[in-house]
Amino acid sequence: MIRIQQVKLPIDHDEEDLYIKAAEALKIEIEDIKELTIFRKSIDARKKDEILFIYTLDVETDREIKISKRNNNISAVEPFIYDVKARGEQPLNNRPVVVGCGPAGLFCALLLAEKGYNPIIIERGKLIKERVKDVERFWKDGTLNLNSNVQFGEGGSGTFSDGKLNTLIKDRSKRGKKVLEEFVEAGAPYEITYINKPHIGTDLLRKVLVNIRKKIASLGGTFRFEECMVDITVKDGSIYRIITESDIIETDVLVLAIGHNARDSYEMLNEKLELTSKAFAIGLRVEHPQRMISEAQYGSMADHPKLGPADYKFVHKSKNGRSVYTFCMCPGGVVTASASEVGGVVTNGMSFHERDLENANSAVVVTINPEDFGGQEDPLAGIEFQRKWEKLAFEVGGGNYRAPIQLFKDFKEKKVSKTFGDIYPTYRPGSTFGNLWDCLPEYVCESLVEGITAFGRLLTGYDRPDTLLTGVETRTSSPLRIVRDKEMQSSIRGVYPCGEGSGYAGGIMSAAIDGLKVAEQIIQTYKPLVEKE
């Protein structure tokens, strides 16, 4: 197969233009192309009057193609095949247990099931259908279900998100391709396999996750929802059993894909294995008109149907040395109430597949280091740091999980806003004007003022006076790490920390990839329970 990079075409091109460009690059006839597939597609909007699509194309042809070392845009590549063999020799006495049904747990369980290990998947929350009802009830009137909410339940916290599938990690093993192909098989649009910033959207993602769960079950996996792990038993330095609220399950292999919001699980595990604190970030959700973002990024082409709603990603180094950056930008979406504990306000962002709502939102967050919260002495100190600001946000918001909000012009002056401009909040179950300086550290607020102002120089209108700020965003990533070795095991043999909750991943894709990596280690160590071809 021949790969052609840097194929540039105007917005209004069609499929035939791809064949023409590929034939020209390879100096062959269009008829000589047996198959053409898109490997990557991105947008070049640096020139607003000449926005282009940039393609990387894979071409199958029987014609002999001479690869020149002087042309880096044409190369020979091997077709993608993800095939991991079960080569482990150590027998399993019991079925492996995966705790957590987010992307890390699901993809770990999927590979284990495919290879004949018949995993048991434990999830404290509910199936998506019932979970959605609980979340909608919370957003409507503030009734919080502690085990079925935006953080806990089938699919993990990513279920109520934009469904972004991009990742910054290097993926030379092509595990990411495996993840994307599984999503497509489960009902996601095929375009996620090649567009530069793939996303599914919360509406489609919910259906996709159900189909992945059904596939795992068909391959021998067993799901146990509404069952929370409360303790583990260790024997001779190895995992022996886990204890749930209703059962005792003996196992030789325990995958901890608990997500980074399972604070009670961290507290229990802190007495059992090695944890260490790590840096994370906190800040606010920022809302703008989506049309303003698209016009700033695409100019007069903002309404072109092939472009879709524009996004952004910014970073700024503040005077106090901290990084300020945008995180989890949701075009045409909403700010979500995402609490998982009583008496705390937590925000996040969510978009549907079409991203067609009026507001764009993003977290704007500031780096927090272990020295800021005493993490050198106590690995759980970061959790208490998060809780402190979440509780203050609850108080400033007026209770019942209403969020404190403030216009940027007033935030700069530490004044409580009194009226809206042209931007109205999307957060439910409601919001209250308040001073966000009362529910974030002063150094964070100072950095946010500086950062948002700097972002206004990059995108016209970003720092407009009526930019709407909603507090607080505290759950950007895990505040701690469950230490694991090169074999991906913790200080307890047979216990595999995995995904965002382990502190080694962040986001749907990196968590899913980490789940595959952990499963690979398990099947290289243990024999399957069921032989499969």
Which pLDDT value is given to residue 83? 87
Whether residue 533 is predicted with pLDDT greater than 60 in this model: the reply is no
Q: Residues 259-316: pLDDT tens digits?
A: 999 999 999 999 999 999 999 999 999 999 999 999 999 999 999 999 999 999 999 9
- Nearest alpha carbon to residue 423 among 375, 473, 461: 461
What pTM does this model have? 0.95
The terminus-to-terminus CA distance of the chain in angstroms comes to 28
- Give the Cα separation of 457 and 491 in Å (integer): 48
Cis peptide before 429 (omega within 30 of 0): yes
Mean pLDDT for 416-435 is 98
Residues 6+ apart with CB under 8 A from 31: none
What 3 state SS string does 412-456 have? Answer: HHCCCCCCCCCCCCCCCCCEEECCHHHHCCHHHHHHHHHHHHHHH
Average pLDDT over residues 219-246: 97
What is the pLDDT of the chain when averaged over all its residues?
95
Q: What confidence tier does 375 reach under pLDDT thresholds 50, 70, 90?
A: confident
Report the alpha-carbon distance of residue 40 to residue 45 in Å, rounded. Answer: 16
Q: What are phi and psi of 451, to 5 degrees?
A: -70, -45
pLDDT for res 410: 98
At 323-333, the pLDDT tens digits run 999 999 999 99
Round to whole Å and give the CA distance between 465 and 421: 8
Contact status, residue 309 vs residue 294, Cβ threshold 8 Å = yes
pLDDT at 66: 85
Name the percent of the chain lying above pLDDT 90: 91
- Rounded to the nearest angstrom, the gap between the alpha carbon of residue 349 and the centroid of all alpha carbons in its chain is 11
CATH code for residues 2-76: 3.30.70.2700
d(CA 96, CA 512): 18
Task: Give pLDDT tens digits for 506-523.
Answer: 899 999 999 999 999 999
Write down the pLDDT at residue 165.
87
C-alpha pair distances (Å), 394 with each of 245, 283, 346, 388, 409: 30, 15, 9, 10, 22
**Residue 229 forms beta bridges with which residues?**
244
User: Which pair of tokens denotes residue 125?
Assistant: 């929350």
| Averaged pLDDT, 73-86 | 88
CA distance 235 to 223: 26
- Residue 531 is predicted with a pLDDT of 75
Residue 166 has what pLDDT?
Answer: 77
What mean pLDDT is predicted for residues 492-514? 95
64 contact partners, CB below 8 Å, separation of at least 6: none
Q: In this structure, are residues 451 and 363 in contact, taking their beta carbons and an 8 Å threshold? A: no
pLDDT surpasses 70 at 96: yes
Q: Is the pLDDT of residue 150 over 60?
A: yes
| Averaged pLDDT for residues 388-397 | 98
Q: What is the DSSP letter of 360?
A: E
pLDDT digits (tens, 9 = 90+) for 298-311: 999 999 999 999 99
pLDDT in tens, 22-44: 999 999 999 999 999 999 999 99
Residue range 41-67, pLDDT digits in tens: 999 999 998 999 999 999 999 998 888
**Residue in the structure block whose two tokens are 């952004």:** 312
Q: What is the mean pLDDT of residues 225-237?
A: 96
* CA atoms of 286 and 301, how far apart (whole Å): 24
What integer pLDDT is reported at residue 169 of this predicted model?
Answer: 61
Confidence of residue 381 (pLDDT cuts 50, 70, 90): very high
**pLDDT given at position 57:** 97
Distance, in Å, from the CA atom of 371 to the CA atom of 367, rounded to the nearest integer, reads: 12
CATH number of 97-276+481-525: 3.50.50.60
Q: Where along the chain do its domains lie?
A: 2-76, 97-276+481-525, 279-473
- Could you check whether 2-76 and 97-276+481-525 share the same CATH topology? no
